[in-house]
Structure 1
Amino acid sequence: MTDVTDGVLHTLFHSDQGGHEQVVLCQDRASGLKAVIAIHSTALGPALGGTRFYPYASEEEALADVLNLSRGMSYKNAMAGLDHGGGKAVIIGDPEAFEPTRKTELLLAFGRAVASLGGRYVTACDVGTYVSDMDVVARECRWTTGRSPENGGAGDSSVLTAFGVFQGMRASAQHLWGDPTLRGRKVAVAGVGKVGHHLVEHLLSDGAEVVVTDVRPESVRRITELHPEVAVAADTAALIRTEGLDIYAPCALGGALNDETVPVLTARVVCGAANNQLAHPGVEKDLADRSILYAPDYVVNAGGVIQVADELHGFDFDRCRAKASKIFDTTLAIFARAKADGIPPAAAADRIAEQRMAEARRP
C-alpha cells in the first residue's frame, strides 16, 4: 500500500478485500493522524458508519478491522431499512494519550480527510470517539453525524443502540420461550461502557437478573453503585461459564464468539451490541449445533445508526425510537427465515441484506 503524505489521500482499490469500493489511507504528520477509511458499498446510498479510535498493534490490524467493520455496516444499514451503504473509519492510536490541543488538531485533520470524499462517506461515533469529538470533526466536514444537540446533532447514539439490543433480546425470548420478556431470566453483559450500561438499565427494568464484567473497574463500579443487586464476574471467561445463564450479551470489541468461547458458553441465547461477534466463518454453525440461538449483531445493534442517519434529515428522537423498536420484528423475521431455510440466523440475515443490496444495484 502506498504511504500517504501530509494532506494527500491515495485511494486504493483491491479485489481481495471483500468487495470494497474504496479504501483510503490518511496521514497528517503535523497532528499525528494515521487513519483508514473504508467504503464497502454505496448501492443503497452514501456509506454511513462510525469512526473507531483505537491503539492497534499494527497498521495491518487496523486495516483488517476497518474492512470487517465497513462490510458489516453495509449489512446493518440494509437490514435497518436505511438508504445508506456501509463504511467505517479507524484512527490508529490511544485517544487518551493525546493532550487536548493535539487531539483537536488530529480530529480536524481527520475531518478534512472525510470531507475530501465529497459525501461518499458519512462518519459518526464508535469505540474511542464521542459526541464532543464529532463536534470537532464537523468543523471541517459537513458529512458528520453524532454531534451534540448544541451543534445541531442528536447526541449520544448509544442510548438507542442499547434499546435496539434490548428489542433483539425480547424477540429472542419470544422465539425461544414464547414470551417477549426478560423477567426472571439471567443475562450476562460483557462490557458495560457506552452501550452496556444503558442495556443493564433496560434489563433490570424488565425484571432480569444481571451479571456483568468489564476490563475497566470504574465501568463496573458505576453499575454496582447504582444497582448493588447486579452480580460481577471476574472476567469474560468466568462470565460465559455462569451457571444458569439464559442470555449472553457481548458489548465490547468483536470476536467474542470463537473456538474457545462457544464450547464453554452456558447461555441459550447470544444477543449483544458488539460488532463482528463471530470470530470467523463457521462459528454461526457451531452455535447452532449447540442449540444456542444467535441474534445477528448487525441486526440488533442498529439503533445507533438509525439515530445518526435520522440526524441528516432533522433529528426526531421519538421517530428514531419507533424505528429502533422494529428491530423486534426484524429479529423475529430472521429467526423465521432461518427455520424455513434450515440455516443459522446469521446466514438468514445475510441473505435478506444481500437481496436488498442486489435489488438496489439493478438498473
Structure 2
Amino acid sequence: MEIKHPSVFEQMSLSGHQNLYFCQDESIGLQAIVAIHDTTLGPAIGGVRMLPYETIGDAVDDALRLSHAITYKASLAGLNLGGGSAIIIGNHRTDKSELLMRRFAQFVEGLNGNFIASTDIGTTQKDLEYMLSETNYVAGLPASLNGGGDNSVFAARGVFYGIKAAIKELYGDDSLAGRKVAVQGLGSIGEQLVSMLRAENARVYVSDMTEERKLKIAAKYKAEPITYSTSFELDADVYAPCALGGTVNPETVPRMRCKIIAGSANNQLKDEELTNKLLKEHDILYTPDFLINAGALISCYSELEGHGNDRTETLVKNIYNATRHVIQKSREDNITTFDAAKQLAEQRIFDIKKLKR
C-alpha cells in the first residue's frame, strides 16, 4: 500500500506556519531553510542549526518543528517575539566558513527583519560575528559587541527554576537538598545545571555520550556517573534530559522510575500524543521543554531590547511561576502539562491578535 506523504504546504497548514524560505548558492555550497511560524507577538527569532541532514525533507521537518516550539516558548515567557528557525544543510566541522555564514546573513537581511538569527547546534557566537558584517538581525552576540554574552547560564537557570517549581508542586516545598536528579548530557547548559543543583545539595547523577566528559564533570562537582543510554531508568526525583531530543517516548516511559521530567533538551517527546498519555498513566510530571528552557531566548530578547542582566534574571526567574501555573492548570482542567502549556501560549497569541484588529 502506498503511503501518502503530506506536501510542504500541507505540513505548514497543519502547524500554522506563515512562511518557509529556501536559499541556495551553489558557488559556495550553501543550502539553507528559514521557517517562520508566527509573528503575532513580534519578529520571529530562532537559532541557526547546521547539520548534514540525510534529506531535504528531514531539514524541513526540523525547521518547522523548532520554529513552532519557539512561538510557544516566547509566548509563555511573556516576550514580544515570534517563532522561527534556520537550517543550514552541511557538516559544521568541515563545511562551515566565514564566507558561508556571511552569504547566509545576506539572505537573512533580505527578509527585512522578519527573522532574527541566533545560535543553535553547529553554530557559535563567532558565526554571529561573521553574520553581523552583513545584517543587524542577529542576537546572542558576545559582550564585546554589546551583546548578552554567553546565554547558556540563563538557559541552565531557567531549567533550574523549572525543576524547583515542579518539586514544590509535588512535595510542598522547593528545597533540592537530598533530592536525586539525573542529568543526561553535560554540555555547557548541562554542566551549569549540575553546578546549580549541587550548590543546593541535591544528589546529582550525571551521564554523557563522551565517557571522559562524564567522569570529569562527576569529579568536579562530586556527582555520581551513570550510564548514558539508561540514565532515564534511575530511581530519581528528576530526570533532566539536556542532550538530544526524543528520549521521552513510548519505549522509554514504561521503564522510567522518576517522578519529574525537567531538562533543557529541545523536542524531548517523541510521538507526543501517545507519550503524554503514557506519562499521565505512569504519574510522571512533565515540565514541557518549551516552558522551562526559555532562558537563552530571554537573554536574546533582553539584548534586542537593550536590557541588562538584572532584567534578564528577573524574566528567567519568572519561569518558576510560569511552571507552577502550567502544572496547576493541568490539574484543574484534568489535562496534561503539555496541553496546558500549549493552551496558555495560544491564548496569549489569540489575545494579542484581537488587540491588533
Q: TM-score range by the shorter chain?
A: over 0.9
1:75 matched to which residue of 2?
72
2:228 to 226, 232, 235: 235
Partners in 2 of 1:124 and 1:164 — Cα distance? 18
Q: Does 1:135 align with 2:129?
A: yes
TM-score of the superposed pair, with normalisation by structure 2: 0.93
Partners in 2 of 1:218 and 1:246 — Cα distance? 26
Q: Does 1:89 align with 2:82?
A: no
Identity %: 37
Superposition pairs of residues 191-202 of structure 1, within 5 angstroms: 191-202=185-196
1:8 matched to which residue of 2?
none
How far the C-alpha of 1:13 sits from its partner, in A, is 7.5
1:291 to 283, 292, 297: 283
Partners in 2 of 1:225 and 1:41 — Cα distance? 44
1:153 matched to which residue of 2?
147
Q: Which runs of 5+ in 2 are unaligned?
A: 1-6
1:40 matched to which residue of 2?
37
Superposition pairs of residues 1-363 of structure 1, within 5 angstroms: 14-17=9-12, 18-98=15-95, 103-227=97-221, 229-236=222-229, 238-242=230-234, 244-282=235-273, 283-362=275-354, 363=357
Cα deviations by residue, 1:113-170 (Å, 9 ceiling, x for unpaired): 1111000011111122221121111111101001111112111111101000000000
Partners in 2 of 1:336 and 1:309 — Cα distance? 27
Is the CA contact (8 Å cut-off) linking 2:16 and 2:37 kept in structure 1?
yes
Change (3 A) 1:332 1:353: same
Cα deviations by residue, 1:5-64 (Å, 9 ceiling, x for unpaired): xxxxxxx97243211100011222233222211000001110111111222222211111
Q: Which runs of 5+ in 1 are unaligned?
A: 1-11
Change (3 A) 1:103 1:218: farther
How far the C-alpha of 1:219 sits from its partner, in A, is 3.3
TM-score of the superposed pair, with normalisation by structure 1: 0.92
Partners in 2 of 1:320 and 1:257 — Cα distance? 30
Partners in 2 of 1:341 and 1:288 — Cα distance? 14
Is the CA contact (8 Å cut-off) linking 1:182 and 1:208 kept in structure 2?
yes
Structure with bigger helix share is: 2
Partners in 2 of 1:122 and 1:179 — Cα distance? 39
Is the CA contact (8 Å cut-off) linking 2:176 and 2:200 kept in structure 1?
yes
Is the CA contact (8 Å cut-off) linking 1:42 and 1:85 kept in structure 2?
yes
Is the CA contact (8 Å cut-off) linking 2:233 and 2:257 kept in structure 1?
yes
| SS, match of residue 360 in structure 1 | helix
| SS, match of residue 192 in structure 2 | helix
Partners in 2 of 1:315 and 1:146 — Cα distance? 13
